[in-house]
Amino acid sequence: MSEIPGWVKALKPSGPQGSELLEHERNKSNIDVDQLSTFLFTREGMERKKRILDILQKEKVFDKSQNYFAGRIDRFETALARAKRLSQLQDAHNWTQDDKMVANDLISEPGPYGLHEGMYLITLRDQGNAEQHEKFLKPAQAYRHIGCYAQTELGHGSNVRGLETTATWNPEDQTFTIHSPHLTASKWWIGSLGRTANHAVVMAQLIIGGKSMGPHPFVVQIRDLKTHQPLPNIYVGDIGPKFGYNTMDNGFLLFNHVKVPHISMLARFSSVDPKTNRYVRPASPSLVYGTLTWVRSTIVMQAGGVLARGVTIATRYAAVRRQFQDRDAPEWEQGENQVINYTTVQIRLLPLLATTFALHFTGKGMMALYAANQKKMSQSANSGDSKRGAGPEETHSGSDLLADLHATSCGLKSLASSTAVEGLEMCRRACGGHGYSSFSGIGPWYADYLPTATWEGDNYMLTQQVARYLLKSARTVLKGGEPTNDTTSILSYFLKRQDQGAAFDILGSDSDLVSAFAWRASFLTFEALRHRDEQKKAWNDLLVDFYRLSRAHAQYIVVKNFYETLQAPTSELSSETLAIMHKLFRLYALHTLESEASEFYTSAAVTVRQIQLARTNAVMNLLTEIRPHALRLVDAWDFPDWQLDSSLGRKDGKVYEDMFHRAAELNPLNRVTINPYPDSPILFQNNDSASLKSKL
């Protein structure tokens, strides 16, 4: 493609410029953006982000300009180069784990060291003993070993008990034989395994004397440390392209009777005694269990920010983009209307904007709950209240707090990640045709985030655990047990009041709005209990009800957390900003309520008339009241342009200039000249496509 001609360079977008439109929008509101950002992220967090952004932007390897164009192999190789450089920078600048996380957030792509750092090191640390720390953890921390966490298999996802890979104890030479008996036993989807790792924590069925003791973790070297070739009797590779996440080398792994020494089995919680050949039972399985709960809590915490990227992009673009005149505008008003003025756009974007804050505050609340629980858990770790071998419906009886936290984290993980996924796609479509361009920045981000709805517990599977917990709580309450936590409190209240009915003033009182959500979740709980315990319905026939129940409970938790955040003394916010946050709370709650109207009717939490009023008056009025503040509210999420990497979401509103620049100047396809006629070769000989490809 030739140089851009002068007459093209001279062109500007027509009408009011994007920068003018955004400035105009920002002038409509007097929310103090910096104050709100500080409230969300703390001063320290914001400064950390600035400091690290400065460092990254100076490094050529982190240049993003070819990200949307490059193919799989190049993207992977670039991601690997970035991971290496990041590891060097961490050393050079003495970065903490938090610093590194911020750097990864800013880079915003999964990298080949991801599972080494996120799972391998942590598993070794938490599940290895001192000897294993010395042998495995130290070289891993020094990046001489690069590891991954190999659990799921080609034929086995969520159900860990169904794993086929075996680790058979050999008393004669005190080794384990790791083996893949079938094709479906192949480890699959394992991040960082495909091309990068030379070690793996392999989850395998431990077999002693012909008896299976369930899945346990084994550290196995899989590639040569010098040549990086697979070791004998190991077959390993990348599983191929995915909908997103293509900068990561998710891999497969098969073992053909591979022997590993006794030290390979991570032995902090359970082990094989080499003298007696006996299995030593785990000290406390609930500690392991806690890790998953923690991972889910962070997913809830992140979901607000994940969604906020899409909302930021779509809201800014909706203020720049203009289309059609207002039908009710006078004839002489020629200009096209900003898209953000259309109620069909507002009804999609503004409730999502409210959701970003709702999820953020809920995430914060969850983290606090987790921290509080950590103490209690380590206190009870030695009390031996675990019940091995009990069915899953009963395993939660150990600690009330653990069970409550676990159930809450399952339901919230499912709701939060589904909400972020669906919200991002809604943001993308709200951008109209340009939302489909990679330059929108939403599509690639959505595609990379999507697996969150499946991993760490499939969003459908998880809801069973929530239901199981709620049913159990309801049984306790029915037996007259005193409320010991929030769940049993709302269930008890419902039980006492159900014959008098509810009279929640959802349009007049914020606390009544929260109560209406509690009432509906309680109603669904007792209804499900009746189906299961009285009508003896099959568990499988109730899964759909359980899904709805879990969703209802999680929505209640979110509404409650949002409400309580605003009730707490929030002197950090001006009264003006606080007032807008209250409106966002009401918008989130009422919009959710009217979207789920049918359950609110059925439970008699509200009347049909209240829902109608919520829909036609309250929500529509809130849209009008919040709309002038939309730009500043997304600004408060404080995403640097470099992080968003979006033409449509540019903070300065130069949407069209940026779209054009990327298409005309960065796009390598424009360097290829094709021959368009059917009876001719594809390319003209004089173009540089072949050489181009070796560069890309």
Of residues 141 and 570, the one with the C-beta less far from a second copy: 141
Tell me if 660 contacts a second copy by CB under 8 A: yes
Judged by CB under 8 A, the chain residues 585 through 604 that form the site for a second copy are 594, 597-598, 601-602
**Pick from 103, 106, 140, 146: which binds a second copy (CB under 8 A)?**
146
Residue 157 CB burial class (10 angstroms; 0-12, 13-18, ≥19): middle
Of the candidate spans 4-12, 294-302, 359-367, 377-385, the one that interacts with a second copy by CB under 8 A turns out to be 4-12
What's the token pair of residue 86? 């990041």
Token look-up 């709005």 returns 513
Q: How many residues bind a second copy (CB under 8 A)?
A: 154
Of the candidate spans 35-43, 258-266, 429-437, 626-634, the one that interacts with a second copy by CB under 8 A turns out to be 429-437
What's the token pair of residue 230? 């697979």
CA atoms of 300 and 409, how far apart (whole Å): 8
201 three-class SS: strand
Tell me if 99 contacts a second copy by CB under 8 A: no
Tell me if 65 contacts a second copy by CB under 8 A: no
CA atoms of 635 and 224, how far apart (whole Å): 49
Q: Which residues are catalytic?
A: 456
Residue 566's H or E segment, with its range, is helix 543-567
**Pick from 28, 43, 138, 182: which binds a second copy (CB under 8 A)?**
182
170 three-class SS: strand
Site string for a second copy, 609-648 (x = CB under 8 A): --xx---x---x----------------------------
Of residues 46 and 543, the one with the C-beta less far from a second copy: 543
3-state secondary structure 598-654: HHHHHCCCCCHHHHHHHHHHHHHHHHHHHHHHHHHHHHCCCCCHHHHCCCCCCCCCC
With both helix axes pointing from N to C terminus, report the angle between 33-57 and 97-107 in degrees, rounded to the nearest 10.
90
End-to-end CA distance of the chain: 16
Question: In this structure, are residues 41 and 304 in contact, taking their beta carbons and an 8 Å threshold?
Answer: no
Q: How far is the CB of 46 from a second copy (least distance, A)?
A: 29
Site string for a second copy, 437-476 (x = CB under 8 A): xxx---x---x--xx-xxx--x-x----------------
**Pick from 215, 285, 483, 668: which binds a second copy (CB under 8 A)?**
668
Measured CA to CA in angstroms, residue 125 lies from 121, 134, 267 at distances of 6, 10, 11
Tally the C-alpha atoms within 13 A of residue 487's C-alpha that lie toward its C-beta. Answer: 25
Of the candidate spans 210-218, 248-256, 280-288, 631-639, the one that interacts with a second copy by CB under 8 A turns out to be 248-256
Residue numbering of the annotated binding site for FAD: 152, 191
Judged by CB under 8 A, the chain residues 484 through 513 that form the site for a second copy are none
Of residues 51 and 429, the one with the C-beta less far from a second copy: 429
Residue numbering of the annotated binding site: 152, 191
**Pick from 154, 163, 265, 402: which binds a second copy (CB under 8 A)?**
154
Longest dimension (CA), the chain: 94
Of the candidate spans 132-140, 368-376, 379-387, 433-441, the one that interacts with a second copy by CB under 8 A turns out to be 433-441
Question: In this structure, are residues 298 and 291 in contact, taking their beta carbons and an 8 Å threshold?
Answer: no
Tell me if 383 contacts a second copy by CB under 8 A: no
* Geometric angle at alpha carbon 147, from 146 and 149, rounded to 5°: 165
Tell me if 215 contacts a second copy by CB under 8 A: no
**Pick from 207, 287, 401, 672: which binds a second copy (CB under 8 A)?**
672
Of residues 246 and 284, the one with the C-beta less far from a second copy: 246
Of residues 275 and 677, the one with the C-beta less far from a second copy: 677
Tally the C-alpha atoms within 13 A of residue 518's C-alpha that lie toward its C-beta. Answer: 23
Q: How far is the CB of 283 from a second copy (least distance, A)?
A: 27
Judged by CB under 8 A, the chain residues 66 through 95 that form the site for a second copy are 68-74, 76-77, 80-81, 83-84, 87-88
Tell me if 389 contacts a second copy by CB under 8 A: no
Of residues 198 and 271, the one with the C-beta less far from a second copy: 198
CA atoms of 541 and 408, how far apart (whole Å): 23
Q: How far is the CB of 233 from a second copy (least distance, A)?
A: 7
Tell me if 393 contacts a second copy by CB under 8 A: yes
Tally the C-alpha atoms within 13 A of residue 141's C-alpha that lie toward its C-beta. Answer: 12
Of residues 571 and 598, the one with the C-beta less far from a second copy: 598
Q: How far is the CB of 341 from a second copy (least distance, A)?
A: 7
Of residues 493 and 660, the one with the C-beta less far from a second copy: 660
Sign of the dihedral defined by the CA atoms of residues 341, 342, 343, 349, in that order: negative
Of the candidate spans 409-417, 484-492, 562-570, 653-661, the one that interacts with a second copy by CB under 8 A turns out to be 653-661
Judged by CB under 8 A, the chain residues 346 through 375 that form the site for a second copy are 347
Tell me if 62 contacts a second copy by CB under 8 A: no
Tell me if 15 contacts a second copy by CB under 8 A: yes
Q: Which residues of 627-666 are buried (b: 16+ CB within 10 A; e: fewer)?
A: bbbbbbbbbbbbbeeebbbbbbbbbebbbbbbbbbbeeee
Report the DSSP beta bridge partners of residue 218. Answer: 202, 265
Tell me if 249 contacts a second copy by CB under 8 A: yes
Token look-up 């007696």 returns 276
Question: In this structure, are residues 190 and 248 in contact, taking their beta carbons and an 8 Å threshold?
Answer: no
**Pick from 183, 280, 368, 390: which binds a second copy (CB under 8 A)?**
183
Of residues 507 and 543, the one with the C-beta less far from a second copy: 543
